[in-house]
Amino acid sequence: MGKKVRLIIMAAALLVFLGSGGAVLAIQGNYRASRQGYTDAAAEYTQKQEKSRGTNSSASAAIGETSEEILEQPPITVDFERLRADNPQVVAWLYCEDTAIDYPVMQGSDNEFYLHHSYTGAEDQSGAIFVDAQCTPGFADYNSIIYGHSMKDGSMFGGLESWKSQEYYEEHPVMWLLTPEVNYRIKLFSGYTTSAYSETYTIFRGPGEDFAAYIAESQTNSDFTPAEISEAGGRYVVLSTCAYDFDEARYVLHGRLEQVDMQ
């Protein structure tokens, strides 16, 4: 009788083990499919541009204290007409050279849908990159908040914490935010870990003393030292993803939007 019980327990344990392994394989398969879907989207809707560089002093400061050249124009173009025909909730494309960040940006009616759906609207546990639903469309607020999952494979916003490193920041001091109407260079100036309930997630509709204090505080908290101090003027974005330093931790990057002439 004891032997039979042991065999039953062993069989049950084996089934649990096989079931768990199958679940892990299924999750990994979903992640691979999601990555491939976004890779295909970049290939279908974007095109690499010939790099046009400049050496003016104000632009050079975006890279560092040297006189290195920077891109005057975005390194990609986006076919928003076709992209928005497939999903009109596409509001932008976010791109950072030599990183995994190369994604359409969504804005829905809430902050739940794109946590579990791709840019096509299909169910996808990797979700999509999306703007806070409370932000004014067109990145018109003084700080628009953009969310993305921190995927273990480094996709989506899984690489944001890389900006904890000064060296990494100096290699990647800018991102690009392309919209149907305007192209922006994002000049990064702060990155740090914070709570999901912190004042980092305050949406400012316009300038003022509170906003100036907010920008100053964000720079005080930064893990890296930016090439130049960002004044509280113009418009900004906050890129946010999950972190695991404590419960409800988040890692955020702040960047100032610098409009680039459309070609």
pLDDT exceeds cutoff 50 at 157: yes
The one-character DSSP state at 230 is: P
Q: What is the mean pLDDT of residues 134-162?
A: 97
Element spanning 216, H or E? helix 209-220
In this prediction, residue 96 carries a pLDDT of 98
pTM: 0.83
Q: Give the model confidence (pLDDT) of 72-101 as tens digits.
A: 789 999 999 999 999 999 999 999 999 999
Q: What is the mean pLDDT of residues 127-153?
A: 97
pLDDT exceeds cutoff 80 at 11: no
In this prediction, residue 35 carries a pLDDT of 84
Contact 157, 129 (CB under 8 A): yes
Backbone φ/ψ region at 248: left (φ over 0), alpha (ψ -120 to 50), beta:
left
Q: 46: which strand partners?
A: 78
3-state secondary structure 108-132: CCCCCHHHCECCCCCECCCCCEEEC
Q: Where do the domains of the chain lie? A: 30-260
- Residue 101 CA to residue 35 CA, distance in Å, equals 11
Q: Are strands 174-178 and 143-147 parallel, antiparallel or unpaired?
A: unpaired
What pLDDT band is residue 214 in, cutting at 50, 70 and 90? very high
Q: Give the model confidence (pLDDT) of 167-185 as tens digits.
A: 999 999 999 999 999 999 9
Determine which of 9-23, 36-50, 108-122 has the lowest per-residue pLDDT on average. 9-23
Q: Are strands 102-106 and 129-131 parallel, antiparallel or unpaired?
A: parallel
Q: Give the model confidence (pLDDT) of 18-75 as tens digits.
A: 454 554 444 556 778 888 999 999 999 999 987 655 544 443 344 344 333 456 789 9
In this prediction, residue 69 carries a pLDDT of 47
Closest among 118, 230, 245, 249 to 174, alpha carbons compared: 230
In this prediction, residue 10 carries a pLDDT of 60
pLDDT exceeds cutoff 50 at 8: yes
CATH 3.30.2320.50 fits 30-260, yes or no: no
Q: Number of C-alpha atoms within 13 angstroms, CB side, residue 144?
A: 23
- Residue 130 CA to residue 30 CA, distance in Å, equals 20
In this prediction, residue 142 carries a pLDDT of 96
- Residue 256 CA to residue 62 CA, distance in Å, equals 11
Average model confidence (pLDDT) across the chain: 86
Contact 235, 92 (CB under 8 A): no
Q: Is 131 exposed, middle or buried (0-12, 13-18, 19+ CB in 10 A)?
A: buried
Q: Which two tokens stand for residue 66?
A: 């040297």
In this prediction, residue 45 carries a pLDDT of 97
Closest among 47, 49, 33 to 83, alpha carbons compared: 47
What pLDDT band is residue 112 in, cutting at 50, 70 and 90? very high
SS3 201: helix
CB atoms within 10 A of CB 33: 12
Looking at the chain, the number of H-run helices and the number of E-run strands are 5, 12
Q: Which two tokens stand for residue 205?
A: 């509709």
Closest among 191, 197, 202, 192 to 247, alpha carbons compared: 197
pLDDT exceeds cutoff 80 at 7: no
- Over pLDDT 90: what percentage of the chain? 73
In this prediction, residue 17 carries a pLDDT of 54
What pLDDT band is residue 158 in, cutting at 50, 70 and 90? very high
Q: Which residue has the higher pLDDT, 263 or 219?
A: 219
> E-strand spans in the chain?
46-48, 53-54, 70-71, 76-78, 90-95, 102-106, 129-131, 143-147, 174-178, 183-195, 236-242, 249-260
- Residue 207 CA to residue 209 CA, distance in Å, equals 7
pLDDT exceeds cutoff 90 at 131: yes
